[in-house]
A and B are shown apart, each in its own frame.
Chain A
Amino acid sequence: MKGKHVLRDNVLLGLGLALMIAALYMVFVYVPTEKHTGIVQRIFYFHVPLAWSSFLAFFVTFIFSILYLWKRATKWDTIAHASAEVGVVFTTLVLITGPIWAKPVWGVWWTWDARLTTSLVLWLTYIAYLLVRSYVTEPARGARFGAVIGIVGFIDVPIVFLTVNLWRTQHPTTIIFEGGLTTPMLMTLLVCVAAFTVLYVLLTIQSANLKSVEADIKQLKSTQAE
């Protein structure tokens, strides 16, 4: 079983590395520079996959939180917790790369428009999730509270996604689905999305493994103390 996991992790690592090298080559060499906003538009190829991966991470947290509340199995909570942690890392990067891209294009680092504000709310929600998990000392209680935040907090994900279509915002609309990208741009974006999806899976597996070992050690210590 352990050998199987090592093989899976090595395959994922190799795949992720190959995809990331291909992604960097495509972003900096292959894809042509966008006419209107220039070279800074290349931030888009990592900014969007980071946002996609964070949505995926919070969706996984949502599903595994439901499973935890239903079955009360610790393994589901461990996956939900690990996925939320990686989701927060990726959302943090979305919130940093967005303003870096916005400054030369919009002339401001930040504006309180619907997409940006709901993204910030999403980040704060999952920061709250992680804080609750770290402050509640009783594991089962922490898992229960976390699961509730993981389920309720996910409501913001479709809102973030739909803001650009529901309200007039400064943020670009979902041009990917409207044929607004040329073939090289779309190919580059898809490779970057694949690279970040594999990176998300890898980081979540590692984080879940650590959390599982941490819980086992806590259990052993309390048994030993008794």
Chain B
Amino acid sequence: MENLGYLLAAYTVIWAVIFGYVLFMQRKQRGLQRQIKRLQESVYKSEIDDK
């Protein structure tokens, strides 16, 4: 079991980076959903104002 630490370190880094990237995309998606909601609200508001 010599060098087990190196093996564990390598696999930990791989999963940490992949999960980090997935989280980054998830955060980006949430931000975009917020922006869509704001746009929908402003469109709705301008429609009411037009009426």
Residue A183, interface by CB 8 Å = no
Closest A residue to B36 using CB positions: A217
Q: A191 to chain B: closest CB distance in Å?
A: 16
A113 at the interface (CB under 8 A from B): no
Let me know if B21 is at the binding interface, CB within 8 A.
yes
Q: List residues of B (6-22) whose CB comes within 8 Å of A's CBs.
A: 6-7, 9-11, 13-14, 17-18, 21-22
B21 to chain A, nearest CB (A): 5
Total B residues in contact with A, Cβ cutoff 8 Å: 24
B-side contacts of A40, CB under 8 Å: 3, 6-7
Q: Are A100 and B39 in contact, CB atoms less than 8 angstroms apart?
A: no
Stretch in A90-98, A137-145, A167-175 with 4+ CB within 8 Å of B: A90-98
Q: Find the residue from B2, B11, B32 having the highest chain A CB count within 10 A.
A: B11
Residues of chain A in range 96-132 having any CB-CB distance to chain B below 8 Å: 96-97, 100-101, 103-104
A210 and B25 contact, CB distance less than 8 A: yes
Chain A residues whose CB sits within 8 angstroms of the CB of B18 once the complex forms:
89, 93, 199
B residues at A contact (CB < 8 Å)? 1-4, 6-7, 9-11, 13-14, 17-18, 21-22, 25, 28-29, 32, 35-36, 39, 42-43
Kindly list 19 other residue pairs between chains A and B, CB separation below 8 angstroms, not including A43-B7, A100-B10. Answer: A38-B2, A39-B2, A40-B7, A42-B7, A43-B6, A47-B10, A89-B21, A97-B14, A101-B6, A101-B10, A104-B3, A199-B18, A206-B25, A210-B25, A210-B28, A210-B32, A217-B36, A220-B39, A224-B39
